[in-house]
Amino acid sequence: MRFLKNKSAFNLVVFVFLMLISSHVCAFESKQEVDAKKTLQEFCSSEFNGIRDARVFYVTFSPDQAARDDKINPPVGAVDKTWDWDPLVVVDSYKIKNIEVKGERAVVEVSYTRLANTESYGYNRKLIENYMENDVVKFQMVFKDGNWKVFDPPEPRISYEAIVNYYRNEVASMKDVIALPDASKAQKQWYQKLKK
C-alpha cells in the first residue's frame, strides 16, 4: 500500500514537471511566433511604403536564388530591387494572416489586395492591371544569427502611392540630367518614358 502512495506522489511530481516544461515550450513558441511576425510586418511595411533596401535588413537568400538574381541584375543581385527595372506587384493593402513556427523555420501567410503586376524587365517592363482582392502569399522564414529572416522572398509588393511617388521623384531628378549638354539619347528617351 505504501508503494502505491509513493507511486501516486511520484506520478504527481512527474505530471507537474511535464506541465511546467510544456508551458515553457509553448511560451517559447509563442515568442518565436511574435518575433517572426514582427520581422515580417517590418519587411512588408517597408516594401509597401517603397523602401528599396528592406531586403538588406530582413532577407536571406538560398545560393540558388542569389545566383539566379545575380544573372538578371549584376552586381547587386537579389538584395537591391529597383522599382523602375525589376519585377514587382502593385498592391492596395495587405494583412498578415496565419503563422506557423516549427523550430527555426516559419511560414507566414499574407493577404494582399493586388492591383497590378509587371511583365518583363528594364526598359521593356510594363505594368499590367491584374486585380485580385485576396492574393495570398506564403512567406518562408528562417531563424538565423539570432534573428528571423524572410527566406527567398517573392517579387516586391509596393503600394500604388509608393510607386507613383517613386516615378514622380525619378522624373524630377532626370529633368536636371537631360538638361546637361552631354546627356545621352538613351537618357532623354528614358526621361520621356518616365513622364508617361
Domains in the chain, ordered, with CATH?
2-159 (3.10.450)
- The x, y and z cell numbers of residue 97, run together, are 494572416
Q: Residue for cell digits 514587382?
A: 88
Edge-to-edge strand ranges of the sheet holding 157-159: 59-60, 147-151, 126-144, 105-119, 89-102, 157-159
pLDDT of residue 81: 67
* Across 6-10, 137-141, 164-168, least confident range: 6-10
Quick one: average pLDDT of 127-146? 95
Among 51-55, 159-163, 189-193, the minimum mean pLDDT is found in: 189-193
pLDDT band at 162 (very low <50, low <70, confident <90, very high): very high
Residue 111: predicted pLDDT:
98
**Mean pLDDT, the chain, integer:** 81
pLDDT of residue 25: 47
Peptide bond into 75 cis (omega under 30): yes
The DSSP symbol for 17 reads H
The whole-number pLDDT of residue 19 equals: 57
Mean pLDDT of 95-123: 91
Q: What is the pTM of this model?
A: 0.73
